[in-house]
Each structure stands twice: as structure tokens, then as C-alpha cells.
Structure 1
Amino acid sequence: MKTVLMVAEKPSLAQSIAKILSKGSCSSRKGLNGACSVHEYMGTFSGQSMRFKMTSVCGHVMSLDFIGKYNNWDKVDPAELFSKAPTEKKEANPKLNMVKFLQVEAKGCDYVVLWLDCDKEGENICFEVLDAIEPVMTRPYGGEKTVYRAKFSSITDTDIWAAMSKLGEPNRNEALSVDARQELDLRIGCAFTRFQTKYFQGKYGNLDSSLISFGPCQTPTLGFCVERHDKIQSFKPETYWVIQAKVFKGKDSPLTLDWDRVRVFDREVGQMFVNITKTSKEAKVESVSKKEKAKQRPLALNTVEMLRVASSSLGMGPQHTMQIAERLYTQGYISYPRTETNHYHDNFDLKGTLKQQANNPFWAQEVKALLSEGLNRPRKGADAGDHPPITPMRAASEGELGGDGWRLYEYIVRHFIATVSQDCKYLQTTISFSIASEGFSCSGKTLISPGEDTTPLSDVVIP
């Protein structure tokens, strides 16, 4: 009987995918490296009954480094690292014995299905896996295709079975682009790290024994942070004065008016204007304007926006947020959380995705109203050609996810609901007043149609 080897990017993904494809009937055992399990079951492939072995790697199998003699800082000019220094591939984590583990499991296998993450890094790992296993696999007859690539964006039964029914091939060009990026990172990072470490030695006592690392992405980002920090530190606050007036009408709550001049930087001048306004006991309404406005529903959710909101509204740092998002993805609650795309394709099943949330008490009312009245087409965003936007893939309860897992999931669900809802519409009323010779105004918003917004509208009620 022929055997199909399947390889995912993480042990947890391998377990989830095997459970779906075996319909819960797979048996599991630990691999020789102790880090990766192997899940086995019987099934059909290309119309034939076959044995399946599902396992994983732990990220990249190989890493890039200079050959030995170029790792000597004292004997190598950093400039040589740009062009002359040859590189070689080494096992990323020798303690895992990943190459040997893959070869042991691949020996005698007839086909391989690659379930690595569907991004450029995943394509690169595909070929790292193939380089390790192809020499020990059963040789194909007559040019038979033996290497397949699964494309998926969520760990749900529907998506995994759809990926299995539409297997393609790994993309070598995308894998090579990662090789190029890795080499650039290595050459630039090492050359500049060595150069600036040696340059600063002896100039600042506390740096003599330190490695001053350079990263092609991290160092410019650090530069932006330092520049902003310097601006904050060098900022010199200047005292200013404002005038606020309160007007009363009967028993209604008072309205606080903003001064048309906004502020003055001279206290005596400010006191002069206060004295002028105090000569009048009344505020005269000069004009009232009303204008209907709309707050657009959000674009579909991508990684940058998720991290921004998690930081600003949920108080969760980027690393912590991505760890939770990866876990929610692996467990099948959300789609792949690393995407630049914020646009849904026309064939995306928006209604089916929304229906899954119809019984959650936190948003059931809004969801059922949308399903009854009809969904709005999401706003047109940017399609980066990687993964669909971050989307809830199945219903969950607070008890299932708990803590920050629930808070992030709740935000993702509410964001999705907002993308297919009406825009938030409100009436903005602005009243201009005169008190003595000075002008004041106040504005307020009255909700017309709330839509479903992830950030609430601040209302000021004007009597």
C-alpha cells in the first residue's frame, strides 16, 4: 500500500489538520526528535486507498550563515561580507535533528503533501522539506507527480477539505525570494554589526564589551523611535489660558462653550477678555447649523489594524496579540492572522460567515437584523494577494477562550459585523454664540443610524 506524507509548519497545526482529514480517527506517536508528533490514518488519495502520515516541522528547517573562516571578526574586513564571503545552509536548530526526523518519516513514502503556511516563508520551508526528504522517498515511475501543495487560510473542516481537493504545487520563485531576503539580511546585518561594534569600542566605556547589533528593518525603526523620543524630551511646554463659558436654560444641564479664539499666551490679555465677557449676563445665539454626517464602516481587518486596535483599545502588546491570534487560528476560530489584505473577494461567503455568529448573545440581535434586512457589501480595500482579511471562522463563547483570547476574538467578530453593516449616521449641530463682543460655540452629535461600529460615537446632547 502506498503512503502519503503530509508536513505542516507547526506541531499544533499538524494535529488539527490530521484530526479533520481523518475525521477524528488518527493514531498519534512521538517522532524521534521528541518535538514533532506523527498522526497516522487510512484514507483515499487520487482514487486509491492509501496510508497517511501527518507531521510537521518547527518553522524553518535550515538557516543561512557564512562559512567558518568568515566568522572570525579579527581576520575579516566587514566589507568582504557584502560580496566575497560565501554562505552555506545549516540546520536552523541542530538539537531538533529535523532533517534526520523528516528523512526517517519520509523513507519509502510515495507522495508528499505540503501544508506549510501559505506565505513566502511557507513556500521557502516547502523546499527545505523537499531537499531533506526527496532523496529517501520512493522514486516515481514515468514522471508521475509526487509533490503537492495545499493552500488554505483557516483551520476549519470546510477550508481544509477544500484545500485537499484542490492541491497545487509549491512556488519556487516565492521560495527563492525568501532566499534572497535571507542573504541580504545576513550580509547587511553582519557587516554593519561588526563595523559599528568596532567603531564604537573605546569611545564609550559602557559599550566596550557589548555587541551593537544592526538589523536592516529593526535599526531604521529604532531610529524613528529615538527621533520621536528626542522630540518629546526637547519639547518645552508653554503656559496658555483659555476661556470657557457655561450657559443655562431652565433646568436643563448647562452647555460648555468653546472660545473662538481658542487660547492666548498672555495671562493679562486673557484676563482682559474675561472682564469683557463678564459685562454680559446673557449669551446670544447667532446661528444654528445642522449637518448630517456619516462615519464609514471599517475596511476588512488586516494584521496592522488588528495590532493597532489591540494596543490602543485592548492594552495588548504586538507580540502577545500575535501569540493569541496564532492560537485562535490553529484552533480554527479565526482565519490566518498574518495578512496585508483588507478587501474581501466577490466570492467570499459573507452571509455564511455571519450566520455562524447568530446565536451568540453578545451580538445575536445585530446579526439577525443584518441577515433579515440584508448585508452591505464591504468597502473596497487593497488586495495584497496573500491571504483573505482576518475573519471569524466559527462561533465561540467566553468560557471557551477566556481572558485575552476572548477579548481579541470579540474584537475580530465585531469588526467583521461592522464591515457588512450600514455606515454610522449622525446629525451634527453647531451653535454659535456671542457674549459681549466675544464669540463662542458648541457642537453636538445626535445618532441617526448606529450601524455597527467598533469604536462608539461620543454624543453631546444639545437641548
Structure 2
Amino acid sequence: MSGLPVVLCVAEKPSLAASIAGFLSEGKHRSRRGGQEVHEFERDFNGARCHFKVTAVIGHVLSIDFPAKFQSWDLDPAILFDAPVQKKEATPKARVVEHLEREAKGASHLILWLDCDREGENICFEVIDACAPVMRPNRGDTFVHRAKFSAVSKESIERAMRTLGAPNRAEALAVDARQELDLKVGVAFTRFQTRFFQGRYSHLDASVISYGPCQTPTLNFAVQRHLEIVSHTPEDFWSLHVEVRSTSLGKTLVTRWERERVFDGDVGEMFRSMVAGDRHALVESVEETEEFKRRPPGLNTVDLLKAASAGMGMGAHRAMQVAERLYIQGFISYPRTESTAYPPGFDLKGTLKAQRGHPDWGEWVEELLAGSMTKPRGGKDEGDHPPITPVRSATESAVGGGEAWRLYDFVARHFIASVSPDCAYVSRRATLVAGGERFRVSGQTVIAPGWTTVMPHRAVEDDPLGEIERGESLPIATVELRQGATSPPPYLSEAELIGLMERNGIGTDASIPTHINNIESRKYVTIQSQGGRRVVPTDLGVTLVQGYHRIDPELALPAVRSHVEKQLDMIATGKADHESIVRHTLAQFAAKFRNFVDQIERMDTLFEASFDPTCSSGKPFSKCGRCLRYMRLVSTRPQRLYCPTQEEVLELPAGTVKLYNNRECQLCGFELLLYQNGDRTYPMCPWCFNHPPFVGGSRPTKGLVSGAPHPRAHPIVDALVVCPCPECGEDDKLKGREGGWLMLEPVGGPRWKFVCTGCALVVKLNDSVHRVTVDKLDVCGACGARCPTVIYHKDRTPLAGGETAHVACLACDDLLNSSIELARGRGAARGGGRGGRGGRGRGRGRKPPSDHDQKMSFKDF
């Protein structure tokens, strides 16, 4: 080597290093192997002749991980939130650090040619850490330089050499923060839930059940759409299809009914008869307007990924790989950008001129250059990179055909379209009236195709309406009433998922493809290629998300990750301290983790119902109020209902449950059950039992219930109660609890009775009673209690004159009191629960009735 000062250039990939060396040396470099390939040449730098060495890393030089003592899965994952982290060589076999140290030794300058995004800035400092200690810069010189470029072309590379700057420490720290947060949060949750569920259920086929702060909200979008689909209930509708004949056009026109559809067949038939009665449709109005289909703005990464998925059959992850290869080969500009507006000074004309000789669109480019080229429309300049554009003209064979050509073709056409005139067309719309109903017909005539010339798949269809005039009468050709049914939305397309992630701040333009690829590779979703790459969650994916929602919805919802991304943005812009953000965010997730561990049984019930064969075979029972499909009754203890459609598990109290004659809960629509506890029966809603709808409501621990499963405020209880319980009503009120109420047992005869909602007291009516009902309007004037209506058997009525109906207060009426027996119910569940005492109350200090007490009246209390 000569005695010239040495300038070391480091690129992110070997192929990029070769391109940079070729441009900077005018192709006169020599190459050698030295760990990674090194390209050497001489050129001027900072006013002096220097010896250049251009080499590359292979992505990140270092990766973040826990020290060895924290690698064991046997450790409590909770300690990981406070564990130290360290950076290790990312690819130790490649010996990248050793290679950089060797090539940097004695060098006076370091030029960093890493990708121009946050990850690239982070890699810059990894390279600096390896190179700076062995370099020999001139005293007082700035020896580390950052090259910023957005295209791999000679012009862009030379411009970067003339405008060298400094690497951005704040952006690098933002990446460090994200790496530490994702590592600690992801590993802690993943280790815990994997250890908890691994081997627990025979039908669960997953070696690792992972959690990711970005991955899981991504999965959540797909699962929520899945739940919308499975819970959809088709609803029949009817629509009128009317066709009219136009003599001036010599064709039949298909109209669109202004009402669109109705949901009553008889009403639809009425409208059909009214329209069919008119043999002609009167043209009420005609409107004609000139309209424009605006040219697209500049192309950013998200729009490129959407187009690749929706129109090219390419997954987002694969599309990003192909785009990066096209960029390194110098066919397109840097493909990771959030901007859709070209920055001031961007050479639009020069970029367009490069396409003038292309066999597919060169003729249109010549027309634009001749004078029809337009200024690009708005868009957003995010200050990162210009929109994605072609760098040089290329044919299908030049880029290698296949996916690479489809992507390059789209990028080139999109750029040309963005500087083309708008598409202009004339729209004609006519309103017709027949049988009092309005119908519309429309058509359009293209005036100038504009930018759709180069993007014909987005062209406006030329379909003229013709010279229909106001007041004209058009013969009706057909009138038809068609029946259809509402349909659920389709599964999310990958393009829609990308859009949702962008709008909700999940990931970045560079990481979005990775997160989608992760949920697919981990078998949480499958990608159905038919119909535009639809994202369909698997049973495991649905169960995981539903489990997070049962414990802590924020673990799956996008809001938390979006907030974290905003915090990282503040670090990147120097507005927040790296250490403070990391410490605060980890504290929040540590609290969430502790809560998750404490309540893992809520997720476990879902896994059991989905992946335990003994549970999945439960018999169909009652209907779910959310999807209107049958839930399964799992009779193994603890007994529960499982809705496979909604992935919902509803615990049931200890005792016997039966159906309640297809009745539905007024609050949630779930099918009601009858809950039998010993010889007492209560109405119960399974959803309200698990999700109490009243302020301060809580579900009894492990389903142990001593009285009614619901409080007095619930409509199904309120409809049957008559008066406070003489044993526990007042006693519980004095102790700050809801007092017990006597309610009519919903099963009815042959032996009618009232049961307490709080304790085990039972009020039995004798066999002279035929039927009992409760009306809210019948109220006792003395005590304010409701008065049930008691219907006696004709041959056993105690009423004078042979009357059978008696409206009376259970507490105050002597005649009714003579027909009752008070007793302690059998089989009361012990333990906590609604009713509080589990049958151990004393009620005003008096001895409670036993199973053998006979004919005690309310006055005895």
C-alpha cells in the first residue's frame, strides 16, 4: 500500500459496496477478499490524494441480548424487565467486527454508506465502535462522515460525497430503545405463556407461543375481522331491477333503484307492482358535468407494498426483498420512505428523460417532455427520502423478469403517472320516475385519458349515456324483484392490513412486512392467495387474541404500541431522553406482565376449550347472544359454556343448569338458563353472570353461589321479586350488603314457591294453589311490597263464593299466610358468592326455619 492517507468506506451490503466503488473509481478499482470483499482505488478527498477502501457489513454488526445468566427458560420471566442487556456480534461466524478492525487500522477517515433510515443510523454507530479505536485520524479533523443518498447511481453517489455530514446519534438511540423494549417485553411474555401452555393440551401444535409488541396488535386486526365474519347474521332483502329501452341509443339501459333495497318482501312486492303498472319511465332530470380522476402522488413504501399484495400477488415481505434488490442494482431509488411529495429541487425532468426510449412507455414520455408534463400533486414530505422512482430505464429481461419486472414496471409507471395530466371525462346522470319510484342511470365519456394512458388498469371506462333529454318517456323493458341476503365483510386483505398498521402506528414502513411475515410463519394466520391475499387467523391466533382481551385488552390493541412509537419518535428527534423513556415504558409493561400472570386462567379456559379434546366435544346447548350460534356445554368441572365461533368461555356456577324455554336476556340477548341449587331454582343469564352489567357488580369466585346468580337490579330477577326476605333482607342491609329478596321460582308448579335471592329460605305454597304470577303494578298499600296473583284450584279454594283469584301481599295478607310453609332449602352451595353467608345467617336473631319447620308465617319473624 502507498503512503497515502487511507479512507475507509463501509456500506450495508456487499453488492452496494461494489456499486459505490465502481462509481467513485470510474470502474478502475481492484478487489480482494478480506472477510468481506474490499475494493481499493485512489482519488482526491478533502483536497488531498487518498487511498480508498470500500467494504461492507451484512446488516447489523451487533445484536442486543441478555447476558448468559438470564438465558435460561427456568428463570422467572418477571426478572427480565430489570435485567441488563448487552450487544453481541450479530453474525459471529462472519467475523464482521474483526474484518472492520483490520481494514480500519491506521485509516484517517471513515465514510459511512449505510441505508438512510433509523436502522442505518444505528448500524453507523456499531461500525464506529468497531473502527474508531484502531484508526489514526489527524488531530483536530472530523474523521467520521455520513453519506446520505437515495439512489444507487453515479450522480447520487457523487452528490453524497460532496455533501457528507455526521451520523445521527438520536435516531440511533431510538433504535436502541426499541430493541431493548421489544426484547424484554417479547421474551418475558413469550417464555411465560410458552412454558404455561407447552404440553398442556394434546391438540395444541406449537413449540413456541410468542408475543410481540408489534406482532400481536397486527394479529388483532385480523382476528377482529374474523369475529365480524363469524358473528354476522344474514338478513334477507329485496331490490328492484328495472331496465328501460332508449330508442336514441338503440339499447337497453340498466337503472339503479334510489332506495337500493328493502327488508320486507311484501313491501318490495308493493313497489314492484307500482312500477310494473307504469309502462314508461319519465326522465325527471339530466345532469352533465366535467370531472377529473386525479393523478397519483409520489409512491411511498406502504403504497408500494399494498400494490404488490393486491395487484401482483406478492406478499409484503417478499415485495420488500425484491425492491431492495432492485435498489442495490440501481434500477429504483431507496424503497423505504414515508414521503409522497417530491422535495424541492428534485430532478423530475431528468428522471423522466431516462425513460424516453423505453419500448413500453417511451412514446408517452416523449409527449410529456414535449410540453404536457405537469407538476406533481400534493402529498406529504416526511423529510426522510423522496418518493420511490425509477433510476434508469430497464426492460423485462434487464431486471430479470418475474417479480422484479412486475415491481419495476409498477414503480416506473407510477412515477410517470405522477407527472402526467389528470384524466378528464364527462359524466351524464339521469333520474327516471316510474310508479312513484326514482331510478338513476349514468354514463361517462372520456375526454383525455391523461395519466391513465400509462396505468391503463386504472382507466375510466368509456360508457356514454347518450342524448337522453328531460321529459322524455322511456319504455320499461323489465321489472324484477330480486331477493338477496346481507353478507359479512371478507377477511382482511394483506393490503388492508398494511393500511391499518400504518394508520395505527404499528411498525414502520421498513418493519411492517416483517410483522406480517412473523404472524404467518408462527401459524397465527394463513394467507389465502385467492381473492387478493386474504389474512385468515388460525384457531391458535384467535385464541391468543381473545385471551389477551380477557386479561388486558391493551396487550392486543394498537393504542399502546402506537404510544410507544411516538415515544421513540421523541427520542429520535432529541425531544426525550433515551433512558427515561425505556425505564418508564418497561415499568408499565412489567405491571401488565404481573397482571397477566395473575389472571392466566382466563386465557387457559380458552385454550382448554379450543385444544383439549375432552372439552371440544361438549354438547350443543344454548345460543350465544353475539353470534346466535349454539354454544357447547362442557360438563367437566368447573362446568362452563364455550362458544367456538366467538372463542368465548363463560363459567357457570356449581349446580345444575337447564334451558329456560328459549327466553332471551333483555340486556345482552343471550339465551337464559335455569340454575338449580339444591331444591331452589333461579333464572340466569350466562353472559351477565360472567360480565356483571351493573355498577359494582362482580362475579362470584369460582362460580360458587349461595343464592341467585344475579342481583335484584337484573331484569330477569326484578320481574319475579315480591318483597324483602324476612330472614336476611334487613340484616344484610344493616351490614352494607344488598338484602335478600323473595322471588317467585320460575319453574312453577305443581308445588309453587318463593325462594330468597340471598339465603336458603324457601316459602312454599300448599297444593291448593294452581298458579302464581307477579305483576309490577300490584303493590301493597301497607308495606309497599308487590302483591302476587294467586290462582287456587276450583275445588280447593279458600276464598268466599268459590272465587279462585286472589291478589295479596305475601307478608301482610293473613289468608295467603295460612297457605304457606317456610323452610330451609337443601343443597345450598357453601363459600362466597351472591347472598354472602352461604346459608349461615340468623335474621333478626331468631332461629331460622329448618327443613322440618311447618306453617310458620311472616309474623313469626
Fold equivalence (TM over 0.5): yes
Q: How far 1:199 moved relative to its partner?
A: 4.4
Equivalent runs, 1:42-191 vs 2, <5 Å: 42-75=42-75, 77-83=76-82, 85-137=83-135, 139-191=136-188
2:296 matched to which residue of 1?
298
Residue 265 of structure 1 corresponds to which residue in structure 2? Answer: 263
Contact 2:297-2:378 at 8 Å conserved across structures: yes
Deviations 1:198-233 (A, max 9, x none): 444576444486321111111111111111111112
Q: Distance in 2 between matches of 1:279 and 1:145?
A: 90
Query: Does the aligned pair in 1 maintain the 2:30–2:40 contact within 8 Å?
Result: yes
Letter in 2 for 1:166: T
Aligned residue in 2 for 1:380: 378
Kindly indicate whether residue 13 of structure 2 is the aligned counterpart of residue 15 of structure 1: no
Q: Please give the alpha-carbon distance, in whole angstroms, between the structure 2 residues aligned to 1:166 and 1:417.
A: 28
**SS of corresponding position for 1:242:** strand
Q: Distance in 2 between matches of 1:132 and 1:427?
A: 65
- Counterparts of 1:253 and 1:173, CA distance in 2: 68
Match 1:221 to one of 218, 222, 231: 218
Q: Structure 1: which 4+ aligned runs deviate by more than 3 Å?
A: 198-209, 266-269
1:438 aligns with 2:441: no
- CA deviations on 1:106-135 (whole Å, 9 max, x unpaired) are 223222211111111111111111111222
Q: Which amino acid aligns with 1:55?
A: T
Structure with higher Rg: it is 2
The residue that corresponds to 2:31 in the other structure is 28
Q: Is the 8 A contact 2:107 2:137 kept in 1?
A: no
Greater shift in the superposed pair: 58-67 or 125-134: 125-134
- 1:340 matches 2:338: yes
Q: Does 1:232 align with 2:229?
A: yes
- In the alignment, residue 247 of structure 1 is paired with which amino acid? V
> Contact between 1:200 and 1:208, CA under 8 Å: does it hold in 2?
no
- How many angstroms does 1:165 deviate by? 1.7
Aligned to 2:40: 40
| Amino acid in structure 2 at the alignment position of 1:180 | A
Q: Give the Å deviation of 1:431.
A: 0.7
Q: Is structure 2 residue 400 aligned with structure 1 residue 398?
A: no
Kindly provide the amino acid, as one letter, of the partner of residue 21 in structure 2.
A
- 1:212 aligned onto 2:215: no
1:352-387 Cα distance to aligned partner (Å, 9 max, x none):
111111112322232222222253221222122211
SS at match of 1:407: helix
Q: Give the alignment's Cα RMSD to 1 decimal.
A: 1.9
The offset of 1:428, in angstroms, is: 1.7
Superposition deviation, residue 141 in structure 1: 3.2
Q: Is the 8 A contact 2:372 2:421 kept in 1?
A: no
Query: Once the 2 structures are TM-superposed, how far is the Cα of residue 305 of structure 1 from its aligned partner?
Result: 0.8
Tell me the CA shift for residue 341 of structure 1.
0.9
2:856 aligns to what? none
Map Cα deviations across residues 145-175 of structure 1 (whole Å, 9 max, x no partner): 2221111000011000111122122122211
Distance 1:203 1:140, change over 3 A: same
TM-score (norm 2): 0.51
* Residue deviations 1:164-192 (CA, integer Å, cap 9, x gap): 12212212221112111111111111122
Q: Secondary structure at the match of 1:278?
A: helix
What stretches of structure 1 of length at least 5 have no aligned partner?
A: none
Q: 1:209 to 1:243 in 2, by over 3 A?
A: closer
Could you report, residue by residue, the CA deviation over 1:75-109 in whole angstroms, capped at 9, with x for unpaired residues? 3x3222222x0111111111111111212222232
Q: Which residue of 2 aligns with 1:462?
A: 465
Distance 1:142 1:439 in 2: 85
CA apart distance, 1:297: 1.6
Secondary structure, counterpart of 2:254 in structure 1: strand
Equivalent pair of 2:423/2:449 in contact (CA under 8 Å):
yes
CA contact (8 A) 1:426 1:449 kept: yes
Answer whether contact 1:426 1:448 (CA < 8 A) is retained. yes
Distance 1:261 1:305, change over 3 A: same
TM-superposed deviation, 1:437: 2.9
Stretch deviating more after TM superposition (176-185 or 152-161): 176-185
- Which letter maps to 2:383? G
How many Å separate the matches in 2 of 1:360 and 1:248?
47
Distance between the aligned counterparts of 1:207 and 1:110, measured in 2? 59
In structure 2, what residue type is equivalent to 1:37? E
Moved more, 9-18 or 128-137: 128-137
- Code of the aligned partner of 1:396: A
Distance in 1 (CA, whole Å) between partners of 2:310 and 2:236 is 29
Q: Offset at 1:260? A: 1.7
d(CA) in 2 for partners of 1:269 and 1:166?
74
Deviating more after overlay: 365-374 vs 98-107: 365-374
Structure with greater contact order relative to length (CA < 8 Å, sep ≥ 6):
1
Aligned length: 457
Cα 1:432–1:209 shift into 2, 3 Å = closer
3-state SS in 1 of match to 2:336: coil
TM-score with structure 1 setting the length: 0.94
CA–CA distance in 2 between the matches of 1:413 and 1:99? 39
1:309 aligns with 2:294: no
What code does the residue aligned with 1:29 have? R
Q: Using a 3 Å threshold, how does the CA distance of structure 1 residues 208 and 405 change in structure 2: closer, same or farther?
A: closer
Match of 2:406 in 1: 407
Counterpart residue number, 2:316: 318
2:255 match: secondary structure: strand
Partner residue in 2 for 1:368: 366
CA contact (8 A) 1:123 1:174 kept: yes
> Structure 1 residues 216 and 434 mapped into 2: Cα distance closer, same or farther (>3 Å)?
same
SS in 2 for 1:221: helix
- One-letter code of the match for 2:320? M
User: 1:426 matched to which residue of 2?
Assistant: 425
Q: Is the contact made by 2:300 and 2:340 (CA closer than 8 Å) also made in structure 1?
A: yes
